[in-house]
Each structure stands twice: as structure tokens, then as C-alpha cells.
Chains A and B, each alone.
Chain A
Amino acid sequence: MEHILGGFAFALTPANLLFSILGCLTGILFGALPGISSAMGVVLLLPFTYGMNGITAIILLVSNFCGSTMGGSITSILFATPGTPEAVMTVLDGHPMHKQGKGGKALGLAVSASVIGGLFSTILMLFLCLPLSKVALKFGPAEYVALALLGLAAITGLGHGSMVKTLISCMMGLALATFGTDEITGITRFHFNSTTFMNGIHFIPVMIGAFALSEVFMQGMTEIKKSDLSVYKKIKVEFMSKAEFWKYKWLILKSAIIGMFIGVLPGTGGTIASVLAYSEAVRSSKYPEKFGTGLPDGVIAPETANNASTGGAMVPTLTLGIPGSGTTAVILGAFIMHGMRPGPLLFITQPTLLYAVFISMIIANILLFFGGIYGVKSFAQVSRLPYYVQGPMILLLCFVGSYALSNDIGAVWVMLTAGVAGFFMKKYGFSVAGMVLGLVLGTMLEENIRKTLIITGGEWGGLFFRPIAGPIFLLCLFAIAWPMIKKMLEKRKAAKAATTGSTGN
């Protein structure tokens, strides 16, 4: 307890508080700019920390991390262009909400959910970081396969039209994920002598193209009526009300736990957390067919999870010295640069520092609410512009967002191709969301299946019959079968009601 209080004393000094505010605000700005990921944002701030004291530097960087994870949702909702990879799932329901004139509500829910998720995970991490880091070490490749499959199981609920077309879209995503160097054998697959393909296809240009670019293309083809654009004119940000909090309490709790736990697992991060939380929200929903059409649940789940993952991601970084995500890898570098070595010994040698980091994250998450209000409001002003100005600006954001990922023009070509493909996919009832899910989870799924089979010498049983992976696989089966069982039950119920009705008559 004394270390926690010591942490408070460190984090609440005026200088540290000021840097926490600065980190948070710059984080929201970086997050909202497509192409500037959380990791890149932290890298951009790193040179400014050279002259600072170690704890202050880390406080600035972790506050930036929290801010950018939330900031990504702003452009996701307004322009269907995820500001950061973590905000990838927010596009699916956030942007349709904006198109229906509920952009203010979507933005408000995103900020509220992010704050709640972030606070939940960092407060719990204060007490649970050591036991959770031990659980994380028990996760092997088989467990990662189970998690990836659980995420993919969401597609059974995503299909608004044909389930087969949704599965085809998912296969397309999984196939795209195989481009580039095979991590197991080192062989470059489907490179066609292009450096872009040699490095693999990143899901961000595909996502930006399929959602944002195709949207601008579609607007260019239809005559824009003034009445259609009225929804873009005024955006009044509405935060989560008390009634909404109670309505979505279980969704928030589930998503926060998923986010926190996925964050703890090394090598995963906020993107996988938001995919799994979205998937779970679809699976457990009473109206899964409405996801992707502008459902608040589809904004709350990924936003709670991706910010909850920030607290979780700091656990392996601080307690084991293993970064949980790309951003925490940069933060780990900052620790070392300032003469501190995260790892098991940190609990013994510098426990106050450890708690100061978590407490500064709690402060950052509280500040996020106020920063979020201004950040969201200022970005919402862009929506007042006529669409013939907004559209080209979105295109420039798409351009920079794809290019800045790897400073490769090839990624912009990928984005353009995805934009054209996305147009036809939407037209003919294929699921763009299914394709993105496949692309995000594809590498994780393949690599870990093959790793498991190498470990077990080709024994498939070693993949399924494990204490942690087994139950997750069962959950996957249930998630896949449940929509079909539900349909059958509903049919039977309707038939029963019809027969009782006819006999009653």
C-alpha cells in the first residue's frame, strides 16, 4: 500500500501532472491523424524526453499511449478512416451511426467507453499485475490459435445477407494475410517481385480503401442532395448517460476484461483486443444481425477493449520486460534509455516507479475524458464543411494514412485496389468486415497453428486438448453453432405458435 501511495505522490507532482496532460492531448491528436499510430506517436515524443527525469518521461509517454488509443476512434467514426489500427473495429458501426446522423452519439460513446475501459484495466492492474503476468506466460501457440478462431467466429453473426458470401470474404482476408515472408520458413510468398508484397499486406490500407475510399467513390457517383448532407452539418457530442451505462454494463465489463487480458498477452495489443471484444459482442447479442449497421454496442465494445488493453499491455512490459504491443516496445526502450530496466526485479528494486506508471495512466484516463471532449468537438467541426471539400480531405487522409505506415507508395496502390474491390463487394453483398477480420487475424492463426504442430511433431491433438485452449475451442464451436441453433429454435417456436393459434381458432 505504501508503494501505491508513493506512486500517487510521484504522479501528482505539478510537473508530472502537466506532462500527463500534454501526453494525453498530443496522444489524442496523433491518434486522430491516420498514419500516426500509437507507436509512432510515442516515437515522435521520445526525443523530447532526453533531458527529462526518467519517471516524468515515462509518464509523458504512457499518457500519450492512452490518448492515441482513444484518438483513433475520431476519424474512424467521422471519415471511416481508422486513425490507429486499434480503432479498426470502431469503423464498422461508428461510421454508419455518423451517416445516420448519430455521429455525436457515436463519438461520445467512444470517448466514454475508452475512459471506462482504460480506468477499469489500470485500477485492476495496480493489484493484479503480478498474477496476471504469470497467467500470460502459460499462453502458448495453441491458445493463440484458439483466440484467433474465437475472433473469426464473429463472422457467423456478421452476415447481413448470405453467410456463404461472408465466409468467402473471410477467406479473401485470410488469403491476403499470407502475402509476404512466411515467418516459419522464411520463404517469401506471393511477392510478384514487388517490395510491397514482400513485406506483406497490412490491414490498414485495405481497411481504409474498402471503407473510406469506396465511400467517397460512391458519393462521387450519386447526386448529393442537400437533405442527405444535413446529417454531416451539426454534430453535438453526447456522452454515455447513466441509463446507457446501466444498459450496457455487461457489455462494458466483458469488453474491459477481454481488452485487459489480451493486452497482458505478449505480442497481441489493442487491435486484437478490439476484434475479440467486437466478436464477443456479436456472439452474445440478442440482435447480432444488426451489427455493422450503426449499433452503439459496436462502438462501445471495441473502444472499451482497446483502451483496457493499454493497462494490460504495461503488465508484461513492466513485470517481465516483454512488450505486450508495438507501442509498449517503444516505451520499454524509453525505460532502458533512462537507465531503468523493467523485469521481475523492478518489483523489488523500484516498486514505487511501477505504481507511479499505473497511477499516471489512471490520471491520463481521467484527463482523456476532458481532452476527448475538446478533441472530438474540434474534429467534429470538419463535418460542417460541404462534402465536396470533406471528400477530397478524406482522400488525402486515406493517402497519408496508407503511405505513412511503411513509407511505401505500394501501400497506396493497395488502398486504391481495396477501394475499388470494396465498392464491388458492397454492391454484390460480400462482407468487407469479414475480409478485414480475416486479414487482421490471419497471420496470428497460421503462424500459431504451424508452431503448435512443429512442437507436437504434427499431432493435431496437441492443438485442441490443452487446459486453456480446449475450453476456448469449445467456446468457438458454441459461437459458430449458436446462430444456427437460435434460428432453429425460433422457427420451432413460430411453428408451435402457429399450430396453437390454429387449434385455438
Chain B
Amino acid sequence: MLGELVAHGVIFLLMLFLYVTSMSFPILNIGGKLGAAWWPQVVLGTGMVLILLSVFFTVRKNQKGLSGKSKKITKKEMVGLLTSTAIFVFALLMLRSIGFLFVCPIIVFGFMYQLGARKPLGLILVPLISALVFTVLFGHFMEVSLPRGMGLFRSLTYYLY
């Protein structure tokens, strides 16, 4: 139940933060008092009331012993989530400097390893081939302006797209 309450708390705080931020929007009176803040405040206000209601139901259910299957996130799941997120965040941070062509193998290698691939040949070939295929397909044929990176990395991409 604690995890569920924390999730409610996080959503509530985010909504409260947005609500407070919306209070600084300039009020323009067009057709009544419907400025830019009106709708976000209606939605966020309703959302916060609903969260309080949901917390009440969750606690009551728990007291009555009706909460059913435990929704606890295990340590293993947490580690898995953090590792996956870390790989992705690292790749995204590198994107501006090394570009999509070189970030691709990092993502593919990282996740292949995370998902249980252990054969060295596969771990080398699949990331390289997929990086080339995705870059040529989307960058060259589909004309998506994929990030090129900087310096040498940038120059190399011009051979492909």
C-alpha cells in the first residue's frame, strides 16, 4: 500500500506544482473569465480532488483487508528499471556529441545485454548492423534529420545521409 500512496503523493505534488505555476499566467478576460489558466486549473483542481478520494479508498480498502494482491515493486525490478533508464539517459546525453549513428550501438548493446544476450559475436554484430540499417533507412531514404553529432562523428555521417 505504501508504494501506491507514494505514487498518489507524487502525482498530487506534480499537479499542485502545475496549479501554482498556472496562477502566474496573465489573466485575459475574453467572454467571461476564461484566461489561459482557467482550463488547467479546472483539470488540475479536479485531479487533486480525485487523488484525495483515491487515497481515501485505498486506505479504507487496506483497512478492510480488500486490497488484494500486493503491488510491491521488488528490488530486482527496481534495479532493472534503473539500469534500463540509465542506459537510455546515457545514450541521450551522448546524442548531441556523437550523433544517432554512434548512439545506436550503445542502446542496442546495452539493452541486448540487459535482456540476456551473452554471445560475443551477436553483441558486436547486431548493434553495428542495426545502427547502419536504421541510419540509412530513416536518415537517407526517409529524410529524417537524425542528430549528426560533432566534429569527426558529424563528418562521418555525411557518407550515409
Please tell me the size bucket of the interface on A: 35 or more
A387 touches B54 (CB 8 A): no
A420 touches B85 (CB 8 A): yes
Please tell me the size bucket of the interface on B: 35 or more
B145 touches A446 (CB 8 A): no
Contacts of B107 in A (CB 8 A): 392, 395-396, 399
B54 touches A182 (CB 8 A): no
- Are A449 and B39 also in contact (CB < 8 A) when A162-B54, A189-B22, A221-B76 are? yes
- Are A164 and B57 also in contact (CB < 8 A) when A189-B22, A395-B111 are? yes
- Are A391 and B115 also in contact (CB < 8 A) when A220-B83, A399-B107, A400-B134 are? yes
- Are A172 and B112 also in contact (CB < 8 A) when A395-B107, A455-B31, A458-B31 are? no
Contacts of B126 in A (CB 8 A): 389, 392
Nearest B residue (CB) for A175: B43
Interface mask (A440-461 → B, CB under 8 Å = 1, otherwise 0)? 0010001001100111111000
B39 touches A220 (CB 8 A): no
Distance in angstroms from B77 CB to nearest chain A CB is 5
A407 contacts B by Cβ under 8 Å: yes
Contacts of A450 in B (CB 8 A): 30-31, 34, 38-39
- CA separation between A358 and B42, bound complex, in Å? 44
Interface mask (B13-35 → A, CB under 8 Å = 1, otherwise 0)? 00100100110011010111111
- Are A35 and B80 also in contact (CB < 8 A) when A164-B54, A427-B73 are? no
B57 touches A162 (CB 8 A): yes
Contacts of A404 in B (CB 8 A): 138, 142, 144
- Are A164 and B53 also in contact (CB < 8 A) when A175-B18, A190-B21, A221-B81 are? yes
- Are A446 and B85 also in contact (CB < 8 A) when A164-B57, A172-B47, A393-B130 are? no
Known: A184-B36, A220-B111. 16 other contacts (CB 8 A): A168-B47, A171-B46, A185-B28, A185-B30, A187-B25, A217-B85, A224-B115, A395-B107, A400-B134, A400-B138, A403-B144, A430-B7, A442-B43, A456-B31, A457-B31, A458-B34
List A residues at the B interface (Cβ < 8 Å).
Answer: 30, 33, 35-36, 44, 162, 164-165, 167-168, 171-172, 174-175, 178, 182, 184-185, 187, 189-190, 216-217, 219-224, 386-389, 391-393, 395-396, 399-400, 403-404, 407, 409, 412-413, 416, 420, 423-425, 427-430, 442, 446, 449-450, 453-458
Show 10 A/B contacts (Cβ-Cβ < 8 Å), sorted by A.
A35-B144, A164-B54, A171-B50, A175-B43, A185-B28, A185-B30, A388-B112, A389-B117, A392-B108, A407-B145
